[in-house]
A and B are shown apart, each in its own frame.
Chain A
Amino acid sequence: MRNRISVGSKIFDVINYVLLGLLALVMIIPFIHVVGSSFATSAEIAETSFLLFPTEFSLNAYKYIFSTDTILRALLISVTVTVGGTLWSMFLSTLTAYGLSRKDLVGRRFFNFLIVFTILFNGGMIPTFLVVEQTGLLNSLWALIIPVSINAFNMIILRSFFMNLPAGLEESAKIDGASDFGILFRIVIPCSLPAIATISLFYAVTYWNTYMHAILYISDSAKWPVQVLLRQIVVLASGINYDGATYTDVPPPEVTVKMATIVVATVPVLLVYPFLQKYFAKGALLGSVKG
């Protein structure tokens, strides 16, 4: 007997495939539009503003933004904070997650509660600001890293992953005389690379995208990461702003320059994304199911 697919089922498939395809397109077209426009000439932009691919390829916008050191400096700051912050956060998160994954640790429940509670309640913006101020981090790039050293969610995902490793692994290492640090660095971490990669990506993306902490803790514009600069260039330069300040001393940047700045602030995330995608789907899944 032939496995018959009913007409209704076929119609369902067609509608479903088309709708999902449209959804994906709608979500992605704005990015294509921005990338396309950033490579267009100003003349073409002025002529046709609904452009996806420029007919005349121009690097002028990029030449312009890289000719001033403002954006270069901001990019350098963002890279530094992202790399340094990710390493630092992973170091602390891995140590804490591994320690708390050990079932023989007295006080484990207490420490876990302590950490989970910070997800539900926190001191809020002003008291946190005061602590950051008192610990001497204001106006330094450390302010973008130290106050967010560990993300409780990320730590819990790592902990769940460590807890699910076969117990025999650790025991055999212990019998061979490995110390707790030895077990962590030689057994647990190498066995957890998918989880480590996932959480590193999460941290890296957060650090690259950091905006709020920069406007809270860093008043020196020479220390702004690229996201803050992007807001200056696109949002504030549109003449629509919240704080009522005007930026008339600088001519509003051209559309292509705005587009190119958006691209530059986005590209690093897009570069790591495809490599780690297969990992993060797995990792996020684990964390959310077992969390």
Chain B
Amino acid sequence: MESASIKKSRRHEILKNIKKNKLIYLMILPGILYFFIYKYLPMTGLVISFQDYKPYLGISGSEWVGFEHFERLFTSPDFWMIFRNTLILFALQIIIFFPIPIIISLMLNEVRHSLYKRGIQTLIYIPHFMSWVVIVSISYVMLTLDGGIINSLIEYFGFEKINFLMNEEWFRPMYILQVIWREAGWGTIIFLAAITGVDPQLYEAAKMDGANRLRQMWHITLPAIRSVIIIMLILKIGDVLELGFEHVYLLLNASNREVGEIFDTYVYTAGLQQGQFSYSTAVGFFKGVVGLILVIFANRLAKRFGEEGIY
């Protein structure tokens, strides 16, 4: 009885609020509609990974096949190839790329001439605003065999030219160097922001204790920005399978596919180019779920270590 009346009054509250804020609801309506149509509707479209989807039959008309596509995925040798490639590129991102913006931030923080500091920042932010097409294009013209600046230099110093673009061994170094080139500078923003929040008294105290500047970095700055580092790491781990369709796709060619094909590029070629809608949706679904589990897991872990996490 009582709970019913609470419910009733609650509903009454809500209705009153909606009435009072009807303009606000009107404002968010287009935005919410957008998220429903282009974000949530595709999520319902994931059911086609359990179907044998035929475009002319639609979701309601296509035949249900259960886990067939997933079985095919897990038993195909391609799966292990993409899985391995994705994992390796991800490891490169975490082990090689992730610490770099932190190190650059620490270095920038030690620069006392603000003009020099801002100059450096301006220059290292620029690549972030270039598209992957531009980044990859510049790499192409610089690395090409005939007349690329890099190969000309290699030749000039008397070494053998290297076919960077068609060589399996160079795919991963090229990938991670391009990631560093484009994102390292931009990545410093958040860490620099965190560093400005460090109490200057701590440095004074450390100086009194005779700590040199490297020690101050290690014992004061780094621990002070620990929580930001952890949050960024969680976000990165959540991105485990988002290695960038554009970037990898632009670097791929017939001779480096064995090391370069990742989930996203595979979904594109198998799905849109070869028309295997259901199968590649299953691949994408698997990828999405693994990503989601990893974010939740990383967040839990952060909380266990006494950090805030991202949600």
Contact = CB atoms under 8 A, between A and B. Distances in A.
Interface of A: 6, 8-9, 12-13, 16-17, 19-21, 23-24, 27-28, 30-31, 33-34, 37, 45-46, 48-51, 92-93, 95-96, 98-100, 102, 104-107, 111, 114-116, 118, 120-132, 135, 146-150, 155, 179-181, 184, 205, 208-212, 216, 227-228, 230-231, 234-235, 238, 240-244, 255, 258-259, 262, 265-266, 269-270, 273-274, 277, 281, 284-285, 288-289
Contact of A115 (B35, B122, B144, B277): B35
A8 B212 contact: yes
Q: Which 5 A-B pairs have the closest CB atoms?
A: A123-B42, A127-B45, A96-B31, A124-B284, A209-B131
Contacts of B250: 231, 235
A230 B189 contact: no
A231 B110 CA distance: 40
Contacts of B165: 238, 240
B291 A234 contact: no
A31 B126 contact: yes
A127 B268 CA distance: 12
Contacts of B40: 114, 118
Given A16-B107, A120-B238, A149-B34, A227 B27 contact: no
Contacts of B25: 99, 105
A184 B147 CA distance: 56
A123 B46 contact: yes
A289 B21 contact: no
Chain B contact residues, majority secondary structure = helix
B32 A111 contact: yes
A49 B148 contact: yes
Contacts of B133: 209, 211, 227-228, 230-231, 235, 265
A65 B235 CA distance: 42
Interface in B237-284: 238, 245-246, 249-250, 252-255, 257, 264, 267-268, 271-273, 277, 280-281, 284
A95 B42 contact: no
A288 B190 contact: yes
Interface in B23-48: 23-25, 27-28, 30-32, 34-35, 37-46, 48
A9 B189 contact: no
A255 B147 contact: yes
Contacts of A125: 245, 264, 267-268, 271-272, 280, 284
Given A8-B212, A34-B138, A99 B27 contact: yes
Given A49-B147, A111-B28, A123-B39, A179 B130 contact: no
Chain A contact residues, majority secondary structure = helix
Nearest to A118: B39
Given A46-B147, A124-B46, A95 B30 contact: yes
Contacts of B267: 124-126
B131 A265 contact: yes
A21 B120 CA distance: 7
Interface size for chain B: under 10, 10 to 19, 20 to 34, or 35 or more residues? Answer: 35 or more
B32 A96 contact: yes
Contacts of B184: 27
A234 B31 contact: no
A130 B44 CA distance: 11
Given A33-B149, A180-B24, A243-B273, A123 B45 contact: yes
A277 B125 contact: yes
Contact of A285 (B121, B125, B190): B190
A151 to B, nearest CB: 11
A269 B148 CA distance: 25
Given A116-B311, A146-B38, A262-B137, A99 B126 contact: no
B117 to A, nearest CB: 8
A44 B190 CA distance: 43
18 contacts: A8-B212, A9-B212, A16-B111, A20-B120, A23-B104, A34-B138, A49-B149, A50-B149, A115-B35, A121-B288, A125-B267, A125-B271, A128-B45, A131-B45, A149-B38, A181-B23, A209-B133, A211-B246
